[in-house]
Amino acid sequence: MMRELYTQVIMDHYQRPRNRGELENPDLKEHLLNPLCGDEVTVYARFEDGKVAEATFTGRGCSISQASASMMTGRLVGKSREEAASEIEWFKRAMTGEEQFSEADDLAALKGVIKYPSRIKCATLPWTAFQEGLEKL
């Protein structure tokens, strides 16, 4: 059971997070708190030619939220604002089971979370932060 939730990919991103840290002079910076548990995340992004050139995150949280932030920041680089927004929409639908993850996709590692409704918010926290940041651009 726990292997389904705490997959190798999630634990790898949790123990060795990618893109962790602040960005100087970011175009996008958004802080979000999960009021249920007190976990928090701040996402940063820099845009070049209308595309995400760099995306990072800081904050403290459980393995699911941290791994999700790590994967998200990698995923959104190179995307336009519109593409990033629809990627986030897609991910959130996937976390409610409305979309299917492709097995080749690293994000499929988060599939196990769907079975634990109280943890879905952990996975979507950084994505929602980025979404709210995009809306303010």
Partner 1 sequence: MYDVRQVREDFPILKRRVGDRPLVYLDNAATSQKPRQVLDALTEYYERHNANIHRGVHRLAEEATALYEEARRKVARFLGAPDTRSVVFTRGTTESINLVAYAWGRKNLREGDEVVLTESEHHSNLVPWQLAARAAGAKLRFIPVREDGALDMEAAEQLIGPRTRLVGCIHASNVLGTINPVERLAALAHAHGALMLVDGAQSAPHVPVDVKSLGCDFFAASGHKMLGPTGVGVLWARPELLEEMDPFLGGGEMIREVHLEYSTWNDIPYKFEAGTMNIAQAIGLGAAVDYLSGLGMENVREHERHLGEYAYRRLSELEGITIFGPEKDRTGVVAFHLPDVHPHDLSQLLDEEGIATRSGHHCCQPLMRRLGVAATARASFYLYNTEEEVDALVEAVQRAREFFGAFAR
Nearer to partner 1, 1 or 137 (CB): 1
Question: Rounded distance, CA 4 to CA 35, Å?
Answer: 26
Q: How many CA atoms lie within 13 A of 18 on its CB side?
A: 15
Question: Rounded distance, CA 52 to CA 13, Å?
Answer: 21
Nearer to partner 1, 84 or 122 (CB): 122
Residue 38 in the binding site for partner 1 (CB under 8 A): yes
Residue 87 in the binding site for partner 1 (CB under 8 A): no
| Structural tokens at position 120 | 């879905």
Question: Rounded distance, CA 108 to CA 97, Å?
Answer: 12
Nearer to partner 1, 3 or 136 (CB): 3
- Stretch of 19-27, 55-63, 82-90, 128-136 lying at the interface with partner 1 (CB under 8 A): 55-63
- Stretch of 12-20, 46-54, 82-90, 92-100 lying at the interface with partner 1 (CB under 8 A): 12-20
